[in-house]
Chain A
Amino acid sequence: MSSVNLDQNLNTAATVHAADHHEEGEHRLVGFIIFLLSESVIFFSFFVGYIVYKTTTADWLPAGVEGLEVREPLINTIVLVSSSFVIYFAERYLKKENLWGFRALWLLTMAMGSFFLYGQAVEWASLSFGFTDGLYGGTFYLLTGFHGLHVLTGVLMMAVMLGRSFIPGNYEDGEVGVIATSLFWHFVDVIWIILFILIYVWQ
């Protein structure tokens, strides 16, 4: 009799623990979304600053600068925006418990993010103006640099999640991380679209 009771108690303790665990994951997701909303205000502030500078500065382009080449950045943009779809399907695979499908698409997303960073670096190296060349140079490198830092963070987060997918039994823990990383990636993408329009399209 008493042993049955003990078992029951253990069982309830186990379910309570699992529920706690699940709740903790949801707390993390809520916390991460709140953080992302807050983070978006930094970008918003930079965007507003950029618009104010661009519309009020008399000599916007530094001497000898014609403007920005759009072709390569556009390719970069297409790669980054498509990666948002790739990561979505990676998440779907994880939900279907197809770990290898998840890993393949996850790695593809990382590759696309890295391609974007490489393209950004090539573009920076080819430009004739620097960070201190007036408000034009300042805002360009500030915005693309701050965004690039987020892309780098996103790729590193994905690397961590990929590594964690190989730890046996780590599946549940990893899932919240995967959802958060994917959210972060969509966020970085949306920011880039606004940034691309502001800097490259609106010249």
Chain B
Amino acid sequence: MLVFVAKRLGSLVVVLFFLTLLVFTLGKVADSDPVRTYVGVNASAEAVEAAREELGLDNPIPVQFGSFVAGAVQGDFGISLSSKRPIADELSTRLPATLELAGWALALTVVIGVSLASLYSRPGRFGAFMRFVFFSAASAPSFLIAMLSVLVFYKWLDGALPAAGRSSYGPYEDATGFYVLDGILHGSPTYTWDAIQHLLLPAFAAAVGSGVALARVLADGISSSLGSPWARTARALGEREGTVLRRHALRNASSPALSLLAVQAGFMVSSLVVVEQVFSWNGLGSYLSGAIGVGDFPAIAAVCLILGAVYVILNTLVDVALAAVDPRVRLS
């Protein structure tokens, strides 16, 4: 087990290094000139030279890469070309926003996945219809689901759920930035409930795609284990079908589902970027699309690096967890 963890950690470091190298290289080959973006088209030659020095672009490229890595490790991602402020400062309020949304979306993914899978795997019932639902939901872009849910819950149901932003009240002073948690910490049910209401629609829109993918894997696993000898034994011992499903089939199907969930986290990141835009959610995603609009590559690189690192680390954790549960994984 220790050997497995050590190997996994080693490859984690290698992947993170190459991820950083790739993002850095992309910044160097990007077709816009960072100095020009920084100082503007009409700046004097001296201003350009000063900016080049300020951004550290007068150093040789290996030195630049070294300071890029050193900065990234300490959470310093340089200066935004458009706002001229440190990128880390701008991201500090946005990271909790995205993490909060991602956490809720992940929870909803599991809820959607497990409930759809239990419906689907009952033999005979809903079979063809559920297949249609699966494929429709898996083919719907997340912004379509986001827009439709806004039309239904905000427009037609007359503002039943809010359609934009994170809160009707604004943040507390000296808070964690996770609004639901902040509401609980400050003992305000109104604030907490308001934050939850704001979370529901965007989290749902981001969760549908991965929820359906999860349901398919779970349903496959469940239907094969429901036909297995030990399921028959459980039935013969007088267990009800629901108990066989919950206690035996679902548990057996959960190991492949867990590794799928880690992969889905990567897809969820991309739907979060899209969904944040629809709901004017002030997170990393809307920051990223803003940076794309103005060609601010250092900001783009910072967001990609953070999201990428989260994804790679998450995958490592899941691998280790799977190996802890299932000894066969360690040997493969």
Say whether A and B bind each other.
Answer: no
Interface of B toward A, CB cutoff 8 Å: none
Interface of A toward B, CB cutoff 8 Å: none
